[in-house]
């Protein structure tokens, strides 16, 4: 018999697939054949490389604990380094079997770096928005500490009868307007706040409401004592004097 | 990365427990997904992993570098134990025989992580085998992961036994090209 059929048997043997007559024949042949021994060894090495090229996964920590106990308490020294060591192993193992794994890892790492940068940017934006909100509410609280600060109720008018507003106003420090129950302004329109002193309305800023009908609006202090506040619906960009319907007004 | 695996095994044979801890730390994260893919249950895979490394500790003195790499030594052991476990579980009737399409579908997915990550892991797990043709991959998976013999594979695939044998040999030759760094 030529040696060629044994090469096929060696492959089947290495993957554990031989059975029956083939298995008996090969097991009788193998101990005396250095060539087949080398072929089996080579096939096992190939299979190990292929199988170990998978994405590393940290096993449940209980396994290591149990093994450390079983071998008699050694390895405890490195116990605390477990998490760090395993992470190093996992990263290093990626390049362990073959180059293409390393290449895939690099692609993945690059993607992760980009994702991280995007997250960082989003966090920075969120933080800026939060800082702004904190400053806003802190300003309102500061105003409330001042005994000369007034809290003025604004009532919904006309079609906006169900809307309500509350103004925290200090003639010297300005104010904060909080609005609820107001429909978002139609396209091309915006809400305008007016501070009325001595019968003359002064423009006190434009604002929009969020989807739930709420708004918070900061007003700079004026030079005169304000008696009445009113909110009107105005064309986008605002007007020097109120022109649209009044939606909220204080008494 | 540090001491070669062969030296760690030699130190283990001399009773060096710290070397064993390092051996575990190096190979367990690689062996675990392999075992998990065969037994398909995390708790079973953890049991098998413990058996495999316990045997490695006990059997370190018998390791002969001339007969194979440390990787082959540990993975061959892991495969045997994992397939033993699958057969034991089947005998207890706790699970169904893995259907063919499932057996060839790739690794089980770990809990947690988003879908994209899981898909990518599956892809990485499959990637060495993915270099094979569908027919070649199938015989390797049925033999190596599902523990079927060549006769069983031939029946399962409804192919002549000779075809299956040749296919296994060609698949191994191709796999060797894939995993050999160029």
**pLDDT attached to residue A46:** 92
Burial bucket for residue B164 (CB in 10 Å: 0-12, 13-18, 19+): buried
Cα–Cα distance between B25 and A113 in angstroms, integer?
26
With contacts defined as CB-CB under 8 Å, which chain B residues touch A90? 29
All structural domains of chain B: 1-96 (1.10.1740.10), 99-182 (1.10.10.10)
Q: Do B29 and A53 touch (CB under 8 A)?
A: no
Cα–Cα distance between B19 and A30 in angstroms, integer?
33
Would you mind telling me the total number of residues written for chain A in this entry? 251
Please give, rounded to a whole number of angstroms, the shortest distance from the CA of B175 to a CA of chain A: 7
All structural domains of chain A: 4-45 (no CATH), 72-145 (no CATH), 150-249 (2.60.40)
Nearest C-alpha in B relative to A74: B17
Give the one of A19, A67, A98 whose C-beta lies nearest to B24's C-beta.
A67
Q: So what's the ipTM on this one?
A: 0.81
Is the pLDDT score of B116 beyond 50? no
- CB-CB contact of A202 with A222 (8 Å): yes
Nearest C-alpha in A relative to B17: A74
Cα–Cα distance between B28 and B50 in angstroms, integer?
9
Q: Do A58 and B29 touch (CB under 8 A)?
A: yes
**pLDDT attached to residue A90:** 55
Give the rounded distance of the alpha carbon of A10 from its chain centre.
53
Would you mind telling me the total number of residues written for chain B in this entry? 182
- Would the pTM count as exceeding 0.80? no
pLDDT above 90 as % of chain B: 54
Burial bucket for residue B76 (CB in 10 Å: 0-12, 13-18, 19+): middle
Q: Do A71 and B20 touch (CB under 8 A)?
A: yes
Residue B114 in contact with partner chain A when CB distance is under 8 A: no
Is the pLDDT score of A130 beyond 60? yes
Give the best-scoring range by mean pLDDT among A10-19, A222-231, A232-241, B91-100: A10-19
Match 């909220």 to its residue by tokens: A248
Residue A17 in contact with partner chain B when CB distance is under 8 A: yes
**pLDDT attached to residue A103:** 59
What are the phi and psi torsion angles at A180 (to 5°)?
Answer: -140, 155
What are the phi and psi torsion angles at B138 (to 5°)?
Answer: -60, -45
Tokens describing residue A146? 């001042």
Query: Longest Cα pair distance anywhere in chain A, in angstroms?
Result: 118
For A92, residues 6+ apart whose C-beta sits below 8 A from its C-beta are B1
Give the one of B50, B67, B151 whose C-beta lies nearest to A66's C-beta.
B50
**pLDDT attached to residue A88:** 54
Q: Do B165 and A54 touch (CB under 8 A)?
A: no
Please give, rounded to a whole number of angstroms, the shortest distance from the CA of B93 to a CA of chain A: 24
Match 């058996």 to its residue by tokens: B51
Count Cα atoms within 13 angstroms, Cβ side, for B65: 8
Closest CA to B88 of B50, B150, B151, B38: B38
**pLDDT attached to residue B124:** 42
Is residue B90 very low, low, confident or very high in pLDDT (cuts 50, 70, 90)? confident
With contacts defined as CB-CB under 8 Å, which chain A residues touch B121? 55
The pLDDT of A230-238, averaged and rounded, is 90
Residue A90 in contact with partner chain B when CB distance is under 8 A: yes
């Amino acid at each position: 018999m030529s040696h060629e059929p044994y090469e096929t048997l060696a492959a089947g043997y290495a993957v554990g697939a031989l059975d029956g007559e083939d298995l008996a024949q090969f097991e009788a042949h193998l101990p005396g054949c250095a060539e087949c021994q080398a072929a089996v060894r080579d096939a096992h090495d190939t299979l190990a490389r292929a199988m170990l090229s998978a994405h590393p996964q940290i096993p449940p920590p209980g396994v290591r604990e149990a093994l450390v106990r079983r071998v008699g308490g050694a390895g405890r020294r490195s116990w605390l380094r477990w998490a760090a060591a395993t992470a190093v192993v996992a990263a290093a193992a990626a390049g362990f079997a073959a180059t293409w794994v390393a290449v895939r890892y690099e692609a993945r790492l690059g993607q992760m770096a980009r994702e991280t940068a995007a997250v960082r940017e989003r966090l920075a934006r969120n933080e800026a928005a939060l800082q702004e909100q904190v400053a806003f509410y802190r300003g309102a609280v500061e105003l409330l500490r001042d005994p000369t600060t007034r809290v003025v109720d604004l009532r919904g008018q006309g079609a906006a009868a169900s809307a309500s507003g509350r103004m925290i106003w200090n003639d010297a420090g300005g104010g904060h307007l909080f609005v609820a129950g107001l429909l978002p302004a139609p396209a091309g329109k915006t809400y305008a706040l007016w501070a009325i002193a001595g019968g003359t309305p002064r423009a006190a800023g434009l604002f929009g409401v969020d989807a739930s009908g709420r708004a918070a609006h900061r007003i700079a202090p004026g030079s005169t004592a304000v008696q009445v506040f009113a909110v009107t619906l105005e064309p986008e960009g605002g007007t020097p004097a109120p022109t649209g319907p009044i939606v909220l007004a204080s008494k | 990365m540090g001491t070669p695996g062969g030296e760690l095994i030699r130190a283990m044979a001399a009773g060096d427990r710290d070397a064993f801890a390092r051996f575990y730390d190096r190979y367990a994260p690689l062996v675990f997904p392999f075992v998990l893919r065969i037994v398909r249950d995390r708790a079973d895979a953890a049991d098998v992993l413990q058996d495999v490394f316990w045997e490695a500790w006990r059997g370190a003195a018998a390791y002969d570098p001339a007969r194979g790499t440390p990787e082959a030594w540990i993975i061959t052991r892991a495969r045997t134990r994992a397939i033993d476990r699958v057969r034991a579980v089947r005998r207890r009737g706790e699970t169904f025989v893995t259907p063919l399409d499932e057996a060839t579908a790739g690794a089980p997915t770990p809990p947690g992580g988003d879908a994209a990550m899981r898909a990518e892991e599956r892809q990485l797990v499959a990637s060495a085998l993915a270099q094979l043709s569908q027919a070649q991959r199938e015989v390797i998976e049925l033999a190596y992961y599902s523990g079927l013999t060549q006769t069983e594979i031939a029946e399962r695939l409804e192919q002549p036994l000779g075809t299956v044998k040749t296919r296994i040999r060609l698949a191994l030759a191709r796999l060797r090209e894939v995993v050999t760094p160029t």
